[in-house]
Amino acid sequence: MNDEKPTASLLSRGNWSSGLGFVLAAVGSAIGLGNVWRFPYITGKYGGGAFVLVYIACVLAVGIPIMLAELLLGRKTHRNCVGAFRSLRPATPWVLTGWLGVVSGFVILSYYGVVGGWVLHYIYLSLSDGFTGKSTAEVSVMFESLAGNPLLQVAWQTLFMILTIGIVAGGIHSGIERGNKVMMPVLFFLLCALMVYALQTRGAREGLDFLLRPRWEQMSPAGVLEALGQAFFSLSLGMGAIITYGSYLGRETNLVRSAFYIAVGDTVVAVLAGFVIFPLVFTFGLEPGGGPGLIFQTLPVSFSRLPGGVLVGSAFFFLLAFAALTSAISLLEVVVAYFIDEQGWKRRPTTCIMGTVILLFGVPSASWSAVFDFMDKLATQYLLPFGALLIALFTGWVLSHGERRSEFHQAEISDFTYGGWSLLIRYVCPLAVAMIFLHLLRVL
Ligand code: TRP
């Protein structure tokens, strides 16, 4: 079994205090900038309704099965993403899958921190009443001047990373779990309230039409790949974040139900964000395909026209920053857990060192938008789908039926559900991801 050097004892690794605490933390990891910032602008880029449908299909057929696979690998081994593969198949190249996850954590957090910094900057702008009386064009200029100012971005990114490091250094229990329980529900209610407002604006009809009516002529294989990459990004899959979170779980947590709740909760929030953004895009005459600045250009304009807008705006960006933080900590935790478990490092110094290295690695993304775009593309279109493919192959084909089945206890999964999942993880997931890769390489 575990024949590599057991550098950290399992008992000292920490655990979630309850099943609910875990689900909330995993939901916290999943719900983040991916839902509120990335999903709307990608949907805008790929023509709305058709993209949303392909996205939902990706979540159901590929996302949920892989989420379950990652939870299984984590809980079975109680290890970080490298150790999980190492303990199940020692001395095989499968451990590279874990390393790929650590690399992905570096890449994603490096530019995620930049966007986290934007959100912090927008809290500051809202609090200082920076949007009141501004026209749509003026608000757009505000975003562009931030995006064109590397120093300012790095300053906010640094603050965001300091907050992330602070929480991860505190450890699983007291650091990560607590805030989630309050902030996630509040974010959800605020999004609902904003949706009610957005649906009453002039552009509501056009916005809904854009979001809901499938225009298949705008869908392409590239769009399918984007949808799949977005599903992995949004559900935190393909790099071992969910393996790592699953590793702090006890047997009593129902994995199947958890995977389902996490995926559904995440998707509901993404679609909700779409219901807020697109009516506003059309009301204020913005470009739906406007790219990464989309929420930073639409929302402030509407906040500036809303009674109590300063308050609503500040609250919104504050909660978004919180959602971004609960995701960022899961990215950093993957990297940190590797060094703690496998190299025997101490949590605090590891967190500070790795957090700083990632911050420095993210400075080019803050300075040049081409680097930012490259990192985002590298992560969502290559690293995450490839990681997810390997996780699916490992769980479906390398692990034996007995190894898979025995991790689930009786009440957790029926034979029928297990059979369906096996089919998806063995055939559907690998084929779907592989086909898209082949298409990218122009083989298909
Ligand atoms: N899911 C988060 C979001 O939507 C981002 C994230 C956190 C992530 N952990 C991850 C993405 C692990 C990929 C892998 O904002």
CA dist., res. 227 & res. 218, Å (int): 13
- Nearest 5°: the CA angle 349, 351, 353 is 65
Residue 15: per-residue pLDDT:
65
- Quick check: CB of 267 below 6 Å from ligand 1? no
Number of domains in the chain: 1
Q: What percent of the chain has pLDDT over 90?
A: 63
Cα(329) to ligand 1 centroid in Å equals 10
Taking all residues of the chain, what is their mean pLDDT, rounded to a whole number? 89
Residue 1 lies inside a defined structural domain of this protein: no
Residue 284: per-residue pLDDT:
86
Residue 202 lies inside a defined structural domain of this protein: yes
- Quick check: CB of 262 below 6 Å from ligand 1? no
Residue 397 lies inside a defined structural domain of this protein: yes
Residue 9 has pLDDT above 50, yes or no: no
Residue 3 lies inside a defined structural domain of this protein: no
| Terminal CA-CA length for the chain | 41
Residue 65 lies inside a defined structural domain of this protein: yes
Residue 18: per-residue pLDDT:
64
Q: Is 2 helix (H, G, I), strand (E, B) or coil?
A: coil
Mean pLDDT of 281-299: 88
Residue 142: per-residue pLDDT:
92
Q: Domain range spanning residue 199?
A: 8-440
Identify the residue whose C-alpha is closest to ligand 1 atom 12: 236
- Quick check: CB of 263 below 6 Å from ligand 1? no
CB 303 within 8 A of CB 309: yes
Residue 60 lies inside a defined structural domain of this protein: yes
Instruction: Identify the residue with better confidence: 139 or 25.
Output: 139
- Quick check: CB of 109 below 6 Å from ligand 1? no
- How many CA atoms within 13 Å lie on the side-chain side of 18? 5
* Residue 274, domain CATH: 1.20.1740.10
Residue 85 has pLDDT above 90, yes or no: yes
Cβ neighbours for 308, distance < 8 A, ≥ 6 positions apart: none
Cα(191) to ligand 1 centroid in Å equals 19
Residue 42 lies inside a defined structural domain of this protein: yes
Q: For 396-417, what is each residue's pLDDT tens digit? A: 999 999 999 999 988 889 899 9
Q: For 294-304, what is each residue's pLDDT tens digit? A: 999 888 988 88
Identify the residue whose C-alpha is closest to ligand 1 atom 14: 236
DSSP state of 219: -
- Quick check: CB of 298 below 6 Å from ligand 1? no
Q: For 226-255, what is each residue's pLDDT tens digit? A: 999 999 999 999 999 999 889 888 788 899
- Quick check: CB of 330 below 6 Å from ligand 1? yes
The confidence band for 373, taking pLDDT boundaries of 50, 70 and 90, is: very high
- Quick check: CB of 164 below 6 Å from ligand 1? no
260-283 per-residue burial string, b: 16 or more CB within 10 A, e: under 16: eebbebbbebbbbbbbbbbbbbbb
Residue 117 lies inside a defined structural domain of this protein: yes
Identify the residue whose C-alpha is closest to ligand 1 atom 6: 236
Atom of ligand 1 nearest to the CA of 328: 7
- Quick check: CB of 153 below 6 Å from ligand 1? no
The confidence band for 271, taking pLDDT boundaries of 50, 70 and 90, is: very high
Residue 440: per-residue pLDDT:
78
> What sign results for the dihedral spanned by CA atoms 178, 329, 112, 47?
negative
Residue 436 has pLDDT above 50, yes or no: yes
